[in-house]
Structure 1
Amino acid sequence: MGQFQPSEKCGWIDKVVEEVADREGVDFLELPPIYETVDPDAVTALCKTQNGSHVTVEFTYLDYRITISEATDVSISESVE
């Protein structure tokens, strides 16, 4: 499982796409757009929430389970189907 610390601007999208591309052994441009799987604006808006809430967003991108929690941790693991 990969662990990342997104930038303060919630750069989780780049981190997810780059890590998945590395795991797949392809250039990130060869992957399907992440917005076909999840609404990046909605996740980023949650990431910017700083009202003390503990938010976790989980979705599947290709064959990987992506988990973003509390706007600080992004983890990628192989999806269990």
Structure 2
Amino acid sequence: MATKRMGTSERIVRTVATEADSDPVELPPLYDAIDPDALDALVDRMSNGTVSFAYAGYEVTVRSDESIDLDERSMDGSASEVAVSGD
């Protein structure tokens, strides 16, 4: 039986939930920030570059190698890097 590969959008939600020490269902819906299907399709076809957007108090950056960087957003709008995940 083949194992289904986790999509980029699902990995983002899980990564943010882990960093925020919360359950994924406690986070706001990802589609409030970005279209998950469009994001998955874009990243699957992206040969170079990044996609960045704000989600659940983080600036999320997805790279063409599918790595995910999270920068925590502070109250003043500045960011500090808190996590990098390749899975």
Higher relative contact order (Cα pairs below 8 Å, separated by 6+ residues): 1
Unaligned residue ranges in structure 2 (runs of 5+): 78-87
Aligned residues: 72
Q: 2:20 aligns with which of 13, 17, 24?
A: 24
- For the pair shown, the structure with the greater C-alpha radius of gyration is 2
Matches within 5 A, 1:42-57: 42-49=38-45, 53-57=47-51
TM-score (norm 2): 0.67
- One-letter code aligned to 1:29: V
User: CA offsets per residue over residues 6-64 of structure 1, 9 Å max, x none?
Assistant: xxx562222211122122222111111101110112111111216xx423100010111
TM-score (norm 1): 0.71
Q: Is 1:14–2:10 an aligned residue pair?
A: yes
Q: 1:62 aligns with which of 47, 56, 79?
A: 56
Alpha-carbon spacing, 1:11–1:40, altered in 2? closer, same or farther (3 Å): same
